[in-house]
Structure 1
Amino acid sequence: MPHAGQPPAPGRRRESTTAGPGPGWAVPRLLEVVAQLREHCLWTAALTHESLVEYLVEEAHELAEAIETGHTGQADVAELRGELADVLFQVLLHARLQEERGHFDFDAVAAGLTAKLVRRNRHVFRPDGSLQETFPDTIAEIVASYDAVKAAEKPERTTPFDGVPTSLPALTLAAKSLDRARRAGSAERAEPGGDGRAAAPQHGRWRSEGGQGMTEAEVGEALFAVVRRAAEAGVDPEQALRAAVRRFQQRVTEENDTG
């Protein structure tokens, strides 16, 4: 297997100390295996955060493909489990790299995630982590609560699009930008000209507030037709859509500044 850079010298052999199968054994054993790979496998020992990025992206895409193309058969369940494991391996490796530097370990990552979920989802949890007595009846209430907490945590974000990675694929970037604008209450909506008929997926169909709908297949065909026309015109559809998203974000930002 290829490896990046000069690997560190192999450490001494360390015997396994984790007990065999039993309640709660899997995660401690997994952490131990990752640590031993870092110590005794030259390829794994040479990995860095930077060299792992391509694998993280690849594994995420493979997981997405398993979800999008899978069905309910046993083979598909096994494939999904395997792809989830591959993504988890990436998380464990990044955490292990930081543990070796004395910064944090996987337990700290898990603890931070637990605290974040409790803090962000105050519609479910009290500040001490216990459950609320009642829960919201609508998604709108949940989104409003979640967004309010997130906004309070990150006051440095001044536009709805702060924190959205610009490296996202153009279609994903466009969809997320539209969603952020809607959730921020911007008057600039999904339809050209800002007429407010924002589309959202409902049970396999895309519907606007006006009631008109398109199936997922119809949306796909429409997008493919646009790509075909762009190719015939010698236009890169990825770049064209990115430019359109930038213009959209600029309009929304200026609208919020003057609104």
Structure 2
Amino acid sequence: MANTPNDPVHDPNGGMPRLVEIMRRLRDPETGCPWDVEQTFATIAPYTIEEAYEVADAIEREAWDELKGELGDLLFQSVFHAQMAEEAGLFTFDEVADTMSDKMVARHPHVFGDESREKSADQQVADWETIKAAERADKLQDGVLDGVAVGLPALMRAVKLQKRAARVGFDWPDVGQVLDKVAEEAREVVEARDRLSPEALSEEIGDLLFVLANVARHLDVDPEAALRRANAKFTRRFEGIERRLAAMGKRPEDSDLAEMDALWEAEKAAERAG
């Protein structure tokens, strides 16, 4: 379709139909964008993950002025995948939307069906898990851990695996026991660092991280979000070190650990005072 004044691509209020049409044209083998045309599900997937994290980052920073754009970027990823699927004869974007609508209606009988809404949030979560278990059974996913996506971030997947195992009783009843396991795994890392191969040491560190994720789960803390906050805090404080060094006419490479550690403590004290 040629670009005309009535072209839906140029309708500022075109909504979803406009976005779908833009994606269709970008993928047109003859008139589309060469880069977009040559992409595949596999090449686009990393961008999809990145955009999801950028949405989470905007929310974490409460950057509400950025969130609309980040959500748009993530939506575009869904449209991109759906367009490639339609070209391959797999499904359309409307079918993606209908599938999600069907799933939400089925999983909320207390809203869209005859079940009572008079139940606790915990009971709703339990009901949700029962429905999802039935869906997995329909897909012949009979194992307790079946359906936990391998491509999830490692910490997130660890928690999901632990939650699944806990449903059938494979779990420590008390967080104190999990903390004891953290100490045990940390000792094993210390003992292993000088005598094990890099591969074996990596396994020990993985065990420690897995148990730390379990601690977070027992304490109702999202370890992925907690680590993002820790990353943000480290970035903020290290940038403070750089500012303090710059005021002294220095760069980090001109300093040493003792000086930078003192400046780190000064940044911590300034944060607490603030």
Provide closer, same or farther for how the CA distance between residues 47 and 163 of structure 1 changes in structure 2, counting only shifts above 3 A. Answer: same
Give the AA of the match of 1:45.
Answer: V
Give distance in 1, aligned partners of 2:59 and 2:190: 30
- What does residue 35 of structure 1 align with? 24
Deviation at 1:119, TM superposition (A): 0.9
1:170 partnered with 2:154:
yes
- What does residue 80 of structure 1 align with? 67
Deviation per CA, 1:57-92: give whole Å up to 9, x if none.
Answer: 22222222222233xxxxx11211111111111110
Deviation per CA, 1:20-42: give whole Å up to 9, x if none.
Answer: 345xx311111111112112211
Choose between structure 1 and 2: higher helix proportion: 2
- What does residue 158 of structure 1 align with? 142
Decide which of 174, 183, 195 is 2:173's aligned counterpart: 195
Give the AA of the match of 2:40.
Answer: T
Larger Rg: 2
- What does residue 257 of structure 2 align with? none
Give distance in 2, aligned partners of 1:21 and 1:188: 54
Provide closer, same or farther for how the CA distance between residues 125 and 89 of structure 1 changes in structure 2, counting only shifts above 3 A. Answer: same
Deviation at 1:108, TM superposition (A): 1.0
Give distance in 1, aligned partners of 2:190 and 2:69: 37
- What does residue 239 of structure 1 align with? 206
Give distance in 2, aligned partners of 1:65 and 1:160: 32
Q: Provide the secondary structure at the position in 2 that maps to 1:163.
A: coil
Give the AA of the match of 2:23.
Answer: V
Give distance in 1, aligned partners of 2:101 and 2:77: 19
Which of structures 1 and 2 has the larger relative contact order (alpha carbons within 8 angstroms, sep 6+)?
1
Decide which of 127, 147, 161 is 2:129's aligned counterpart: 147
Give distance in 2, aligned partners of 1:107 and 1:81: 22
Decide which of 150, 162, 181 is 2:165's aligned counterpart: 181
- What does residue 118 of structure 1 align with? 105
| RMSD (Å) for aligned C-alpha atoms | 3.4
> Structure 1 length as normaliser, TM-score?
0.62
Deviation at 1:232, TM superposition (A): 9.6
Give distance in 2, aligned partners of 1:133 and 1:122: 6
Give distance in 1, aligned partners of 2:121 and 2:26: 44
Give distance in 2, aligned partners of 1:238 and 1:90: 34
> Structure 2 length as normaliser, TM-score?
0.59
Q: Provide the secondary structure at the position in 2 that maps to 1:162.
A: coil
Provide closer, same or farther for how the CA distance between residues 53 and 133 of structure 1 changes in structure 2, counting only shifts above 3 A. Answer: closer
Percent identity over the alignment is 34
